[in-house]
Amino acid sequence: MDSNSTFVIGSDTGGTFTDITVLTDQGEIFMDKAPTTPHDFSIGVMDAIDKVSQGMGLTREDLLRRSVMVKHGSTVATNALITREGSKVGLITTRGFEDTTLIMRAIGRVAGLSEEEIKHQATAVKPEPMVPRELIKGVTERVDSQGKVVIPVNQDEIREALRCLVEEHQVQGIAVNFLFGFSNPAHELAVRRLFQEMYPGSDITLTCSHEICKTIREYSRSNTVIMNEFLARTVHNYVSRLGRQLAESGYQRPLLVMQANGGVVHPDEMVPVGTISSGPSGGVIASKFVADILGHKNVVTTDMGGTSFDVSLLIDGHWRNMLDSIVERFHVSWPMMDIQSIGAGGGTISTVDPVTGQLRVGPKSAGAAPGPVCYGAGGQHPTITDADLILGLLDPDYFLGGRMKLNKALAEKAMREKIAEPLGMDVVEAAAGIYEIINASMSDLIRKQVVTTGRIPAEFVIYSFGGAGPVHAAAYGAELGASKCYIFPMSAVFSAFGVAAADIIMSHPETFRQRLPVDPEVLNRKIESVESELQAAIERQGIRREDISFRRTFYMRYGKQLNDLEIQVPTKRYTEEDIQAIMALFERKYEDVYGHGSGYREAGILLISFNIEAIGATIKPRLATVPSNGSRSPEGAVKGKRLVYFPKVGDFVETRVYDYLKLKAGHGLEGPAIVETPITTIIIPPQATAVVDSYLNIEMVI
């Protein structure tokens, strides 16, 4: 490696492992992982940096001193929501709407639940509100939907609300959301001004809805502002702590934080609620990067890590952002990649239901501590990793390239006592049952994602990544009915690779109701004003004007409807012809999703909201091609054989094991086969075939 090389680092803190990827200016890619440290996630990040630097022949200080960017995605925000360990928040809202977040539009009873959970009265209940009723204060004011002040804000009531929340209830954060604050923020700004007058220098944080969420639907907007305040202290403290540790080790620039809209931002521009699910977003970015190179337009991205299985779609070469998402059973209005998850990772726990006697797999996880039983760290309940080990899919002496040994005897003992004996079967049958159930659950999630787009699974290829993904990819892909699956050299740290490749992106969602066709100049003035503000914000982060581009998304519907369709529209100054073209684009998309003949222009076409993204281009990885040596035979890469149980066969099968590092471009593999890399294992089942392409990807026909 050139002694003058510079680096870009991407890191992703997962539930079990923290992944790291380093891109060099010479086009090289280095990767590694370390156990996640839930008590302080920054420790796991620094441990992962240590490991990858050792593999590069550098010290941590050398690596960080020569790094031009460190980008980071984490589960800190998600974990804080799951455990409800965040700031104590008060809400100030329009008088008469104090119960909005408690009523939850009634949909709160079932939002975020599975079909099975919705059927049962014991589970189909509203989640505990993030702000209890006594911390919600109403203030007399009213602005109409067009931004006209109908009733001036009562400033005495603002002072009393602030006094009560701060002095009596000692809140740590205040969320402000007036009914139409997004159309005219004057009253929300009055709250901020009075708060600063009454409590100058206070460490209490305050968020106004118009600052982060200028969209309709006061319930989801309230949740967004509340959640932002709930996470603010936790996320900012974590980012500051990690930034200090990086600086102390030689890094000389700001840490860039991954957000769920698919981009990174400077900490000063970070929106805490936007960091939710930031890690999985990296996997979608990486998929987009690779799909552009391989020429794949429709891709199912599947990320199976230690705790969850995350699915997203690339359609016609683009990922989808949702303005209204469900986070921990609460509707929020912040642009987030459309990523759906279930509890299905290597650490997912299996149990026997004490009432029904049925085998249950997930959603709870053993996480990083204690982890699967075979880790020998105190885990008591069999997990997916334990089942994979018992079936022979994993080598107990070559987990993480041999750096971590797995205890098969412990896994078998737990499987026998907790699963096999209660079900009256042997250990291998129990492990095979777990394997089959989890694969079916994952394929069901993919199928649900695909059919909502009006397409069928056969139109997509599968990208499999995450530490556990390549072990199960062929199985859930075959269950789905897909024909091809791709596993990449960096699959085990794919989200970290995507974070390293991420651009700086700032989003501006806003409600802007217009009946189409509209005067193009009305639309142009509004959008150009927003883009001018976003461009200035991106330039403040050190990006040159010529490296900034924009992406526009319209959310449209027919008149009298409630649900919007996401439409990618051209970035240009619009003419009347362009407006007609956008209307036609909406109608084509509508019939793609809902069926031929479902469109009804006579109802009128409405633009409800838009989302503008400013994209500041950053350094990208370079994937080098490797010429084929002309031979399809992988004999030189064989490292041995072992017996592997394949449920579809119903027995153990002698299976060849290949060393991935010795495979060459053009090599063909016949199932059953196993390919082992230093950080993951790839399973090629019987009847499947695979070839190593010029990028050293494993292209599997299933």
DSSP string, 515-578: EES--HHHHHHHHHHHHHHHHHHHHTTT--GGGEEEEEEEEEEETT----EEEEE--S---HHH
* pLDDT tens digits, one per residue of 187-245: 999 999 999 999 999 999 999 999 999 998 899 999 999 999 999 999 999 999 999 99
Average of per-residue pLDDT values in the chain: 92
Domain regions of the chain by residue span:
89-218, 507-616, 635-701
Say how far apart CA 162 and CA 174 lie, in whole Å. Answer: 9
- Is the confidence at residue 283, as pLDDT, over 70? yes
How confident is residue 499, by pLDDT bands cut at 50, 70 and 90? very high
Taking CA 613 as the corner, what is the angle to CA 611 and CA 614, rounded to the nearest 5 degrees? 150
Average pLDDT over residues 388-400: 94
- Which residue type is seen at 244? R
Taking a C-beta distance cutoff of 8 angstroms, is the pair 267, 254 a contact?
yes
The token duo for 149 is 């002040």
What are the start-end ranges of the H helices in 207-333?
A: 209-212, 218-248, 278-294
Q: Which of 331, 338, 277 is nearest to 312 (CA)?
A: 338
Cα 274 versus chain centre, distance: 11
pLDDT above 90 for 460: yes
Closest C-alpha among 578, 601, 576 to residue 588: 601
454 Cβ partners below 8 Å, 6+ apart?
592, 593, 594, 595
Lowest-pLDDT range, 80-84, 242-246, 497-501?
80-84
Instruction: Give the closest residue to 470 by CA, choosing from 643, 230, 690.
Output: 690
84 pLDDT band, cuts 50/70/90, is confident
Measured distance CA(362)–CA(619) in Å, rounded: 39
In this prediction, residue 576 has a pLDDT band, given cuts at 50, 70 and 90, of: very high
Contact 18, 49 (CB under 8 A): no
Give the percent of the chain with pLDDT over 70.
100
The secondary element (H helix, E strand) that includes residue 72 is strand 67-73
In this prediction, residue 1 carries a pLDDT of 60
CB 311 within 8 A of CB 446: yes
**pLDDT bracket for residue 323 (50, 70, 90):** confident
Give 405-455 pLDDT, tens digit per residue.
Answer: 999 999 999 999 999 999 999 999 999 999 999 999 999 999 988 988 888
Region of 106 on the Ramachandran plot (φ > 0 left; ψ -120 to 50 alpha; else beta): left
Integer angstrom CA distances of residue 538 from 239, 563, 569, 611? 20, 32, 22, 16
* pLDDT at residue 661, rounded to an integer: 93
CA-based torsion, 670, 673, 675, 681: positive or negative? positive
Distance (Å, rounded) from C-alpha 393 to C-alpha 672?
11
Q: Between 563 and 47, where is the model more confident?
A: 47
113/537 Cα distance (integer angstroms)? 38
Q: Distance between CA 18 and CA 279 in Å, rounded?
A: 10
pLDDT of residue 170: 96
Q: Across residues 537-560, what is the average pLDDT?
A: 93
What's the pLDDT tens digit per position in 364-385? Answer: 888 777 889 999 989 999 999 9
Higher pLDDT residue, 412 or 307?
412
Asked whether the predicted pLDDT for residue 2 surpasses 70, the reply is no
Mean pLDDT score, 15-25: 88
What is the per-residue pLDDT across 99-123, written as a single tens digit (0 to 9) for each?
999 999 888 888 887 777 788 777 7
pLDDT for position 311: 94
Q: Exposed, middle or buried: residue 484 (CB in 10 Å: 0-12, 13-18, 19+)?
A: middle
Instruction: Look up residue 636 and give its two tokens.
Output: 């030189």
Q: Which residue has the tokens 């600086």?
A: 247
Average pLDDT over residues 140-162: 96
- Mean pLDDT value across residues 309-317: 92
How many Å apart are CA 491 and CA 467, to the nearest integer? 7
Mean pLDDT, residues 13-17 taken together: 80
End-to-end alpha carbon distance in the chain = 39
Cis peptide before 672 (omega within 30 of 0): yes
Question: Which three-class secondary structure state does DSSP give residue 292?
Answer: helix
Q: How far is CA 5 from the centre of its chain?
A: 31
Provide the 8-state DSSP code for 654. Answer: E
- % the chain with pLDDT above 90: 73
